[in-house]
Amino acid sequence: MNGCCSIRVRMQVSVLTVTGLILAAVIFWSYLASRHRLEAEMESKAVSLADGAARRIDAKLGLLHGVVNGMALTLEAQALSVAFDDVRGMQTRCLDENPGIFGVCVALEPGEEPDGWADLAAWAYREGDQLAYVNLAGENDAHTREDWFTLPKHLARPVWSEPYEWEGLLMVTYSVPVYRGSGDRRRFTGVITCDLALDWLERMIAELPLGKNGYGLLLTRNGTYVSHPLPNIVLNETIFSIAEARNDPALRKTGQRMVSGEPGILAFDSFATGKVSWLAYTPLQSADWIMAALISREEMQAAILHLSRRQAAIGGGGMLLLCLAVGLIARSITRPIRDLRDAAETLASGDLDAPLPPPRGRDEVAVLTCRFGEMRDNLKRHIADLRETTAARERMHSELRIAHDIQMGLVPKTFPPFPMRNDLDLFAVLEPAREVGGDFYDFFLLDEKRMVVAIGDVSGKGVPAALFMAVTRSFLRSAFRSDADLTEVMTHVNNELVDGNDSCMFVTLFCAVFDLSDGSLKYVNAGHNPPVIQHSDGRQEWIAKPSGTVAGVIEDSPYTAGATELPEGAVLVLYTDGVTEAMNPDNALYDESRLAARLRASGSACDCRALTEDLVNDIRAFAAGAEQSDDITILMLKRRSAEQDGDAKLPVTVAPCHRFSFENRMEALETAMQEGDQFLEEQEASPKLAYAVRLAFEELITNTIKYGYDNQQRHTIEVVLDLAVPAVMTVTDDGRPFNPETDAPAPTLDGAVEDRPIGGLGLHMIREMGMKLDYCREHDHNILRVVFPEG
């Protein structure tokens, strides 16, 4: 972001552009305005010069008028009866008194001369300092053929002649006709003339202040030049002959305008100087001539251009200074900003402790720097806080995960839970809304015939509910250990919960004792959702009564037990309100009605797992993506056809299966192993598999026998060998809890247990052979599944 985009360059460019434009506009305007003004001045100057010169010429020529008219009047008055000598004398006096006059002539029409007149055309003139005289009539009355005689005669008025040259002098003659007689008898007698040398004219015109390339012109009515700056023009050329020579019709028109007798001014391309000029002209009053003054416009334009150039130069210099000043100001802004930018880069890279540039001055940039520093300090604080918070949250998360695992460990999850019993089909599912929840179910065997099932829902959600749930479960189990009476149990649990329950939490609880031999079901309900029995004939029986208060709130709250029967083929469905209160996106509840419908539809024919999965899928379909607001907990219990005690029937499997059951004595193990060999042989199992089975059997059972029991009592160890693909061996014993996989004690609520080392070589070999061990502990039994590798 340098170069053309930087602040300094931008400022300079924009300021210079704007001022440059303004300067250009101002100079241009002033040039035009000055030119306009000056042109107007020049015009009027030309006009006034032409006028002034014309008046001065008029003044001089006017003299002549006076003199000649005077003489004419005199002679006329006397009817020309004047002695010739008197006329001569008059001429001499006239010339003496008027130095400007070159010559005077009295010329008469032949026949009109008075008696005694010797010469018909008496002309007195100057020759140097002297006065000379000649008779212009000559021998043939030559004077009568001259324009100065014929023109006044025929025009009957005074006439100025065209200029002519006489002995190198430029001259002009003014002739006045003279008459005798009056009325009808008035007749032309002759002319009086006066000659004027025009050398003073040239001088005067040359002295006009017309500037460089300016000059004056004098023209006759015929366009003949009387005065012109170029040599050889005067008398030879007329303005029209020059126009003709230059093939310039515009010049001819100009000439015609000039000789028209009206004053005027026009723009003119002078052929004398080649410059564009103002031409101002005005007619003389005393003669038929036109005085013209030419002023060069170029001169004026050159002066204005010079001025404009000066202005531009000054302006340019000013702009340079401006550029400099702007650059300096820009620098004062951009330097701290650049420092700030560098600091920001360092900060952005993560180094929050990098030093910031110190604020200079009190302007906006300094304030920005201060704020920046504050922001940096805040950032540091926030990051530190965040780190702490994140660490705490991470800790909490990991603890929650552990809590989840612990909680999941609290509910039995192995199904079927009692594989050796096939008189009951039980399945349960718990899906917490959060990592941990307040729902739970539990089931365990009280004795050979009776089992306890329970379901509960702690108020609230999350860790508090989970903790309360754990407490409740442990109270429940410990209560059953001491007394099997339901109401006692419930009362005991309630009171224990009330004690120390500062947080006023409660739990809804349904607890039942199920007799597997006759299907009787005794139950007590502490405010929990009424379970339902789905009979095999389609009948639904809701266990709504009796129902007591929720547990954990009121001490010594009374509970009453109820009793019903669960026939064979009927399914007992326990659930929490996470089922009935499951919401879809339209906030409609799943409700008991849907639950009933679902159960009715499914019937009781299938096993509990299928039924439960059906129900869960139905609930999920209903929820249609809406967030699960509460834990969903379902437990289903079904009574199968009664079986004999102790000798459980093998579960029906597709694959060949053998069940061992023997005492915890090495001799019994030997026997069982032989039995196993035999079975494997019969099933034609591969030698590899047989070997693996023997190894695992021997190792694991030996371990159990040796270390699994604290007392000397007789315990039964049960092994199920399932030759499906892959082959699975399930070992169940009721000894001390022990997971051969790990050295660390398995998490349990029953207290700490020390390690029980297995023969290291044996375990190593088991693993080497690719066997997978799957351990769990349920209902005080260790259940170890060994999965043999395929092939």
Partner 1 sequence: MHDHHTCRSGRRIRHLPGMLVAIVLGVCTVAGAADEHGGTEALFPVRIALQWLPQSQFAGYYMASEQGFYRAAGLDVKLLHAGPGPSSLDFLVEDRAEFCTMFLGDAIVYAREPVALAHAAQFVQRSSLMLVGWKDMGIETPADLDGKRISYWPGTFSIAFTAFFHQYGIQPKVLPQHHSVNLFLHRGVAACAAMYYNEYHRIYQAGYDYDQLTLFLMRDYGLGFPEDGLYTSVETAARHPEVCRALRRATLAGWEYARQHPEEAIDAVLRASRRVGVPANRPHSRWMLEHVLVSIFPTENDVVPGRLERCRYQETVQALVGAGLIDDAPPFDAFFPVALQEEVP
C-beta of 115: minimal distance to partner 1 in Å? 25
Which residue lies nearer to partner 1 by CB, 157 or 387?
157
Which residue lies nearer to partner 1 by CB, 161 or 604?
161
DSSP structure string for 119-167: -SEEEEEEETTEEEEEETTTTTTGGGGSHHHHHHHHH-S-EEPPPEEET
Decide: 336 and 357 in contact? Cβ < 8 Å.
yes
Which residue lies nearer to partner 1 by CB, 161 or 213?
161
Instruction: Name the 3-class secondary structure at 727.
Output: coil
C-beta of 65: minimal distance to partner 1 in Å? 18
Which residue lies nearer to partner 1 by CB, 154 or 449?
154
C-beta of 142: minimal distance to partner 1 in Å? 4
- In angstroms, the CA 228 to CA 217 distance is 5
Phi, psi of 39 (to 5 degrees): -65, -45
C-beta of 151: minimal distance to partner 1 in Å? 6
Which residue lies nearer to partner 1 by CB, 264 or 737?
264
Spatial CA neighbour of 407 closest among 474, 459, 312 = 474
C-beta of 221: minimal distance to partner 1 in Å? 8
Which residue lies nearer to partner 1 by CB, 223 or 417?
223
C-beta of 155: minimal distance to partner 1 in Å? 5
* Residues facing 524 on adjacent strands: 511, 561
C-beta of 56: minimal distance to partner 1 in Å? 25
CA 31 to chain centre: 46
Q: For the chain, give percent helix, strand, coil, nearest 5.
A: 45, 25, 35
C-beta of 243: minimal distance to partner 1 in Å? 9
- In angstroms, the CA 491 to CA 442 distance is 18
What are the strands of the beta sheet with 225-227, ordered from one edge?
A: 225-227, 215-220, 289-296, 276-283, 264-269
C-beta of 147: minimal distance to partner 1 in Å? 5
Which residue lies nearer to partner 1 by CB, 224 or 529?
224
Which two three-digit tokens encode residue 508? Answer: 């809804």
Which residue lies nearer to partner 1 by CB, 166 or 691?
166
- In angstroms, the CA 164 to CA 171 distance is 5
C-beta of 146: minimal distance to partner 1 in Å? 6
Spatial CA neighbour of 161 closest among 188, 119, 198 = 198
C-beta of 94: minimal distance to partner 1 in Å? 15
DSSP structure string for 191-209: EEEEEEE-HHHHHHHHTS-
Which residue lies nearer to partner 1 by CB, 195 or 718?
195
Give burial (CB, 10 Å; 0-12/13-18/19+) of 182: exposed
Q: What is the Cβ-side half-sphere exposure of residue 624, based on CA atoms within 13 angstroms?
A: 9
Query: What 8-state DSSP symbol labels residue 185?
Result: G
- In angstroms, the CA 411 to CA 250 distance is 123
Enumerate binding residues for partner 1 (CB under 8 A): 103, 105, 123, 125, 134, 136, 138-140, 142, 145-148, 150-151, 154-155, 159, 161-162, 164-166, 171, 173, 193, 195, 221-224, 232, 235-242, 244-245, 252, 255-256, 259
Which residue lies nearer to partner 1 by CB, 168 or 209?
168
Spatial CA neighbour of 774 closest among 727, 740, 743 = 740
Which residue lies nearer to partner 1 by CB, 143 or 756?
143
Which residue lies nearer to partner 1 by CB, 165 or 670?
165
C-beta of 230: minimal distance to partner 1 in Å? 13
Decide: 150 and 66 in contact? Cβ < 8 Å.
no
Which residue lies nearer to partner 1 by CB, 235 or 498?
235
DSSP structure string for 656-716: -EEEEEEESSHHHHHHHHHHHHHHHHHTT--HHHHHHHHHHHHHHHHHHHHHS-SSS---E
**Greatest extent of the chain over all pairs of C-alpha atoms, in Å:** 206
C-beta of 193: minimal distance to partner 1 in Å? 8
